[in-house]
């Protein structure tokens, strides 16, 4: 089975050697050029992860590591897996994709249908991997994306082995590759339906914190630079109704339960942050291989 691991600009040669030694056969990464970040700010990412620390900031730095990976006989995929792109953002892609074509990138991770259409209309011939963010929960949606030339599907991380097996059986497509998450950040929610951005700092993680006026008051205004003005923030705060006491208690309890599940509620006490915040599917590998899954994804750009 292929083992796909995430990398970023901080990945050193030593890190790469360790990953290769550990059995990684494929790598994926994000690229956010300065012109994009300058236009939209890093919070509006070229991919699902918001923030510069998860990305390659230039094609020069990306080129260097791609060459190292290819020299080792392994593959590199680039993530353009945001849930959607606007009509103003799509014109940036021909330039980026042509550079990636020259780098002989092995494929793209995609989630947005508009980008799939764009790739087809502009005649870009990349291997297309439909990421878990696309929310392919049934065989019909899988067959739909197959029409766009998708050659691999990554199942959403909240699916069970039996659900994955049923889709593979119903699809009955021997030419399609199937991939499952084997390690990922622990979260209760489906990435396909989550439009929350974690790019504005810890206090903007709406899934972890109480949703009321405090969330806007506590976030430093500079985090919104290039996205929203200080006056607009003030106007938004005025429009947010103050929840009643009963609702506040319910929301606080829900946030507490989520934090406990995600590990942040007790991680500081027993010092098991990483193990508690991550899911592990090692025990399911043999079952996944048996039902036809040919690749495993390790989420490491977090």
Asked, for residue 197, whether it belongs to a domain, the answer is no
Instruction: Indicate if 93 and 212 belong to the same structural domain.
Output: no
Q: What is the pTM (predicted TM-score) of this model?
A: 0.79
Number of domains present in the structure of the chain: 2
**Could you tell me if 209 and 284 are in contact, meaning their C-beta atoms sit under 8 angstroms apart?**
no
Asked, for residue 110, whether it belongs to a domain, the answer is yes
Residue-wise pLDDT for 123-170, tens only, equals 999 999 999 989 999 999 999 999 999 999 999 988 889 999 999 999
Model pLDDT, residue 256: 66
d(CA 173, CA 189): 29
Instruction: Indicate if 20 and 74 belong to the same structural domain.
Output: yes
Model pLDDT, residue 246: 75
Asked, for residue 195, whether it belongs to a domain, the answer is no
Instruction: Indicate if 260 and 277 belong to the same structural domain.
Output: no
* Residue 74 belongs to domain with CATH number: 3.20.20.70
Instruction: Indicate if 112 and 66 belong to the same structural domain.
Output: yes
Instruction: Indicate if 167 and 234 belong to the same structural domain.
Output: no
Instruction: Indicate if 12 and 154 belong to the same structural domain.
Output: yes
Specify the pairing of strand 177-185 against strand 278-280: antiparallel
Instruction: Indicate if 285 and 234 belong to the same structural domain.
Output: no
Asked, for residue 161, whether it belongs to a domain, the answer is yes
Asked, for residue 37, whether it belongs to a domain, the answer is yes
Instruction: Indicate if 22 and 137 belong to the same structural domain.
Output: yes
Asked, for residue 192, whether it belongs to a domain, the answer is no
Segments of the chain scoring below 70 in pLDDT: 184-186, 188, 199-244, 247-248, 251-252, 254-279, 301-302
Instruction: Indicate if 129 and 50 belong to the same structural domain.
Output: yes
Asked, for residue 140, whether it belongs to a domain, the answer is yes
Instruction: Indicate if 120 and 11 belong to the same structural domain.
Output: yes
d(CA 137, CA 141): 7
Model pLDDT, residue 20: 94
| Full domain range(s) for residue 168 | 2-187+273-298
Instruction: Indicate if 226 and 241 belong to the same structural domain.
Output: yes
Model pLDDT, residue 69: 96
Q: Determine if residue 220 is left, alpha or beta; phi over 0 gives left, psi from -120 to 50 gives alpha, anything else beta.
A: beta
d(CA 230, CA 137): 40
Model pLDDT, residue 115: 94
Instruction: Indicate if 75 and 100 belong to the same structural domain.
Output: yes
Asked, for residue 196, whether it belongs to a domain, the answer is no
């Amino acid at each position: 089975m292929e083992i796909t691991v995430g990398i970023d600009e901080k990945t050193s040669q030593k890190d790469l050697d360790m990953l290769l030694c550990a059995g990684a056969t494929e790598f994926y990464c994000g690229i956010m050029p300065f012109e994009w970040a300058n236009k939209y700010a890093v919070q509006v990412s070229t991919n699902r992860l918001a923030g510069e620390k998860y990305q390659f900031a230039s094609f020069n730095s990306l080129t260097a590591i791609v060459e190292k990976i290819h020299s080792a006989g392994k593959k590199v995929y680039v993530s353009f897996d945001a849930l959607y792109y606007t009509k103003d953002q799509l014109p940036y892609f021909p330039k980026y994709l042509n550079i990636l074509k020259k780098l002989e990138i092995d494929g793209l991770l995609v989630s947005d249908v508009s980008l799939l259409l764009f790739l087809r209309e502009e005649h870009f011939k990349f291997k297309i991997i439909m990421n878990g963010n696309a929310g392919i929960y049934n065989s019909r949606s899988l067959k739909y994306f197959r029409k766009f030339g998708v050659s691999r599907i990554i199942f959403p991380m909240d699916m069970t082995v039996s659900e994955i097996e049923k889709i593979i059986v119903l699809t009955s497509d021997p030419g399609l590759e199937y991939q499952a998450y084997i390690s990922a950040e622990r979260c209760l929610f489906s990435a396909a339906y989550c439009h929350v951005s974690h790019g504005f700092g810890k206090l903007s993680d709406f899934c972890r914190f109480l949703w009321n006026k405090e969330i806007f008051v506590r976030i430093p205004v500079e985090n919104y630079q290039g996205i929203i003005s200080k006056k607009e923030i003030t106007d938004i705060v005025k429009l947010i109704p103050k929840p009643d006491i009963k609702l506040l208690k319910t929301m606080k309890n829900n946030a507490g339960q989520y934090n406990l599940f995600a590990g942040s509620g007790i991680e500081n006490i027993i010092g098991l942050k990483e193990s508690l915040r991550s899911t592990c599917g090692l025990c399911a590998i043999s079952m996944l291989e048996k039902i036809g899954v040919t690749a495993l994804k390790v989420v490491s750009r977090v």
